[in-house]
Amino acid sequence: MSRVKERFYSFNNYLRGIFGTRVHRISLDAGLGCPNIDGTLSDEGCIYCNNKGFAAYARTSKTLEEQIESSMRFYSQHLGAKKFIAYFQAFTNTYAQTPHLKKVYDTVKKFDEIVGVFISTRPDCVDEDKIKLIAEYKKNYLVWIEYGLQTTHDHILNSINRNHTYKDFLAAVELTKRYEIQVGVHLIVGLPSATYQDMMDDALRIAKCGIQGVKFHVLHVLKDTQLEKVYRSGRLRLLTRAEYIKVLCDYLERLPSRCVVLRLISTAFGEYLVAPLWINQKSKIIEEISQELEKRGTHQGYYCSYEGARCQGQ
């Protein structure tokens, strides 16, 4: 597979297989909230959360249409892009009544260049009505739901104030599978108190649960977060670059080769990033991960006995 040559199944490769060209993802802020911030579950949020640090449009004054237009203009002028994915990224993008969500998602219909709709949300913020609505977009778009899980260990979820459980995630995945929507999961590598074995358990559980994609984040500290206080007090040890590369390769070896790697490492805007600063050397780190797999003579799926779920286009 070009996948084996590539050593892991990249998102670009996946999209190219479907659309025959590079497709750009446009990050959007639909103005929706989050129950972990508005007091419904908590008013403090996840300890690492500052949406401004990773979402270009988080709490922008621009309308969705304006966000889409300006991003499409930028990517077509600079990279010649012609096709785009609308990525509802900031906050919790199923956290509203279904009619309102329909209005939000329907914005994409105004733009012929949009070929995909990706919705990022919490696993405890979906129900059958919302999933049914999202499934309708499959007629005309490539549709994925990305669930923020971060870890499969409830005691670690508690410690980072996620306020949902691994069981909530499994229930959301089962519901989403019934409507044949592709599922991605967000995982954080290097969470406080997560041991190496905890992370490998995560890999095994994710490999088994039959989802189509994984998005990796490395734990990093953003300004104005609970995590920043812990970090400044000296009570937080972050992974080194070398440790991240090693753990990521171990992780990839345990995931099904068919599982799309939606992202290998997260980045953050410099003005918000406290530590570690190396995360923003994204291309270099991706290269180092490939080199490490090459050195080992392994690839994604090397130690995985699960076939994994098939994606649209595979």
Judged by the rule CB under 6 A, the positions of this chain that interact with ligand SF4 are 34, 36-37, 45-46, 49, 51, 91-92, 122, 148
Nearer to ligand SF4, 18 or 171 (CB): 171
Nearer to ligand SF4, 32 or 286 (CB): 32
Cα–Cα dist 180/125, whole Å:
18
Nearer to ligand SF4, 104 or 115 (CB): 104
Contact in structure between 58 and 268 (CB atoms under 8 Å):
no
Contact in structure between 178 and 215 (CB atoms under 8 Å):
no
Nearer to ligand SF4, 91 or 144 (CB): 91
- Amino acid letter at 39? G
Output the smallest distance, CB 35 to ligand SF4, in A: 7
Output the smallest distance, CB 37 to ligand SF4, in A: 5
Output the smallest distance, CB 303 to ligand SF4, in A: 30
Output the smallest distance, CB 148 to ligand SF4, in A: 6
Sequential DSSP letters for 81-105: ---EEEEE-SS-TT-S-HHHHHHHH
- The two tokens of residue 142 are 């490539």
Nearer to ligand SF4, 15 or 221 (CB): 221
User: CB neighbours of 42 closer than 8 A, spacing ≥ 6?
Assistant: 36, 161, 163
Output the smallest distance, CB 91 to ligand SF4, in A: 5
Nearer to ligand SF4, 14 or 95 (CB): 95
Nearer to ligand SF4, 93 or 300 (CB): 93
Output the smallest distance, CB 43 to ligand SF4, in A: 10
Cα–Cα dist 46/252, whole Å:
26
Cα-flanking dihedrals φ and ψ of residue 232, to 5°? -65, -25
Contact in structure between 237 and 191 (CB atoms under 8 Å):
no
Could you check whether the bond before residue 35 is cis, i.e. omega within 30 degrees of 0?
Answer: no
Closest CA to 245 of 284, 194, 303, 272: 284
Closest CA to 175 of 215, 133, 118: 133
User: How many of the other CB atoms lie within 10 Å of CB of 281?
Assistant: 14
Output the smallest distance, CB 133 to ligand SF4, in A: 21
Contact in structure between 150 and 191 (CB atoms under 8 Å):
yes
Output the smallest distance, CB 33 to ligand SF4, in A: 8
Nearer to ligand SF4, 41 or 203 (CB): 41
